[in-house]
A and B are shown apart, each in its own frame.
Chain A
């Protein structure tokens, strides 16, 4: 598999059999097909059914769900969303989870050796209490989640390579987001909020070597892997395992905090406090920027697909998230400016362009200034 963070091959990597790579490539292509061709077929069948049998009736999410629910095209897409992920992780011998866990002891030893001299580039808090909303869900159907086992970070890193909408450059989404950073500001101290595999802050540091890079995540396996990947890429980043609800960074200490599709991992009840905590650590004039999934206005069929994907892919907080007014929440948290900028999906060639096939997803860039 290609390295996702730099032009150098990763040094920390599981041994992957030919069968494993062939199977994962098949699953990746199948996932793309489900999210493009099968998705478009579901929409086409929906519009045809709606126009032929429900013409003139008000179109609501409920009516759209009733129509969509009966369509084999939609049912097949739903099967793919649920089961291709299951096969990807858990297929005997050739699933990511089974492949990595088959080498678990050796990988754990190697990881321990690679982080032994991390110094202040890796701060762990192994006694941290996981919030219940996080502990209760195996997000993205990764069995066991991303925090229970030392090799979970590696599994997450492999897993994201079949999720990204642009396979040729998994870090493209970060660059799209940074195009929306306010100009004329100094982004010296930068924090990757929910850093995961570290890909975001590593990409930032490669573009801005003069910056001081930080990454925070509650999952120890992720920050350990992120540290290793940063070392492989040759960029200095200080990673820290913390609950982002209450971070140990000082007030007014960052010029920019960014995230990538993090908001849908939290229930709405905790989001206002999360925003206040980010505002606290930002310098005056500092920027909090991130991307998140959103609904296409006045497209109930897209809402149905979005919610369906969320429930089936173990993303239980997403249905409320895509309906949320995060820009308003930013203002309520005290940010002086807080805006939602819809992503032009077709401009980025990330979704179909036909008027009868709305984008499979849509995104908003959220930009908040302290």
Chain B
């Protein structure tokens, strides 16, 4: 975990400094499998939205192409932009995040630990 630890992942004390790097040996094939699985799940949601649109049109609840031709009001457009940015920020934060822990353990705690 740290330079002084004989381990890569297994912790031998509290996290008092930087966020630990924990996954070092996960084969990339499995990461790709997880991403492909997520893509499949996303397609299932996409498919259901399309079916829902078609049913709404068929039952005269929405006019044809209502979603495609929808125009936001200025307020809606601003909210949508903000939502898109927040969504993108949450994703990219995981790749660019600081390694400073957001929860804290004071190194002074070692007073109580049997090192």
Residues of A within 8 A of B (CB): 65-66, 68-72, 74-76, 78-79, 82-83, 85-86, 89-94, 132-133, 135-138, 141-143, 267-269, 304, 307-308, 311-312, 314, 316-317, 320
Which secondary structure dominates where chain A touches chain B?
Answer: helix
Assembled-state Cα–Cα distance A124/B4 (Å): 45
Q: In the complex, what's the smallest C-beta–C-beta distance from A299 to chain B, in angstroms? A: 16
B26 surroundings in chain A (CB, below 8 A): 72, 75-76
Q: In the complex, what's the smallest C-beta–C-beta distance from B48 to chain A, in angstroms? A: 15
Q: In the complex, what's the smallest C-beta–C-beta distance from B42 to chain A, in angstroms? A: 14
Given contacts A69-B7, A70-B8, A138-B103, contact A314 B14 (CB under 8 A): yes
B113 surroundings in chain A (CB, below 8 A): 267, 316, 320
Given contacts A76-B23, A138-B103, A138-B104, contact A91 B8 (CB under 8 A): no
Assembled-state Cα–Cα distance A92/B104 (Å): 18
B24 surroundings in chain A (CB, below 8 A): 75
The answer to whether A311 touches B15, judged by C-beta atoms less than 8 angstroms apart, is: yes
Query: Can you show 10 pairs from A to B with CB atoms below 8 A apart?
Result: A69-B7, A71-B25, A82-B15, A132-B111, A133-B109, A133-B112, A136-B106, A138-B104, A314-B103, A316-B109
Q: In the complex, what's the smallest C-beta–C-beta distance from B25 to chain A, in angstroms? A: 5
Interface centre among B14, B20, B30, B114 (most CB of A within 10 A): B14
Which secondary structure dominates where chain B touches chain A?
Answer: loop
Q: In the complex, what's the smallest C-beta–C-beta distance from B69 to chain A, in angstroms? A: 25
The answer to whether A316 touches B20, judged by C-beta atoms less than 8 angstroms apart, is: no
B11 surroundings in chain A (CB, below 8 A): 78, 307-308, 311-312
B102 surroundings in chain A (CB, below 8 A): 86, 89-90, 141, 143
A86 surroundings in chain B (CB, below 8 A): 102-103
The answer to whether A69 touches B22, judged by C-beta atoms less than 8 angstroms apart, is: no
The answer to whether B14 touches A79, judged by C-beta atoms less than 8 angstroms apart, is: no
Given contacts A137-B105, A311-B14, contact A317 B90 (CB under 8 A): no
The answer to whether B103 touches A75, judged by C-beta atoms less than 8 angstroms apart, is: no
Q: State which residues 9-47 of B face A: CB under 8 Å.
A: 9-15, 19-20, 22-27, 30
The answer to whether A138 touches B105, judged by C-beta atoms less than 8 angstroms apart, is: yes
B67 proximal to A (CB < 8 A): no
The answer to whether A92 touches B90, judged by C-beta atoms less than 8 angstroms apart, is: yes
B89 proximal to A (CB < 8 A): yes
The answer to whether A82 touches B22, judged by C-beta atoms less than 8 angstroms apart, is: yes
Residues of B within 8 A of A (CB): 6-15, 19-20, 22-27, 30, 86, 89-90, 93, 102-106, 108-109, 111-114
The answer to whether B25 touches A72, judged by C-beta atoms less than 8 angstroms apart, is: yes
The answer to whether B23 touches A72, judged by C-beta atoms less than 8 angstroms apart, is: yes
Identity of the chain B residue whose Cβ is nearest the Cβ of A267 in the assembled complex: B112
B114 surroundings in chain A (CB, below 8 A): 320
Identity of the chain A residue whose Cβ is nearest the Cβ of B25 in the assembled complex: A72
Partner of A75 from B9, B12, B109 at Cβ < 8 Å: B9
Identity of the chain A residue whose Cβ is nearest the Cβ of B5 in the assembled complex: A69
Assembled-state Cα–Cα distance A267/B108 (Å): 13
Assembled-state Cα–Cα distance A314/B89 (Å): 27
The answer to whether A78 touches B22, judged by C-beta atoms less than 8 angstroms apart, is: yes
The answer to whether B15 touches A314, judged by C-beta atoms less than 8 angstroms apart, is: yes
Assembled-state Cα–Cα distance A116/B90 (Å): 39
Q: In the complex, what's the smallest C-beta–C-beta distance from B102 to chain A, in angstroms? A: 5
Assembled-state Cα–Cα distance A312/B12 (Å): 10
The answer to whether B20 touches A82, judged by C-beta atoms less than 8 angstroms apart, is: yes
Beyond A75-B9, A317-B112, 11 additional pairs, beta carbon < 8 A: A69-B10, A72-B25, A82-B22, A136-B105, A307-B11, A311-B11, A312-B22, A314-B14, A314-B105, A316-B14, A316-B109
Assembled-state Cα–Cα distance A65/B23 (Å): 15
Q: In the complex, what's the smallest C-beta–C-beta distance from B100 to chain A, in angstroms? A: 11
A268 surroundings in chain B (CB, below 8 A): 112
Assembled-state Cα–Cα distance A311/B2 (Å): 14
Identity of the chain B residue whose Cβ is nearest the Cβ of A317 in the assembled complex: B112
The answer to whether B109 touches A69, judged by C-beta atoms less than 8 angstroms apart, is: no
Q: In the complex, what's the smallest C-beta–C-beta distance from A267 to chain B, in angstroms? A: 4
A304 surroundings in chain B (CB, below 8 A): 10
B112 surroundings in chain A (CB, below 8 A): 133, 267-269, 316-317
B10 surroundings in chain A (CB, below 8 A): 65, 68-69, 74, 78, 304, 308
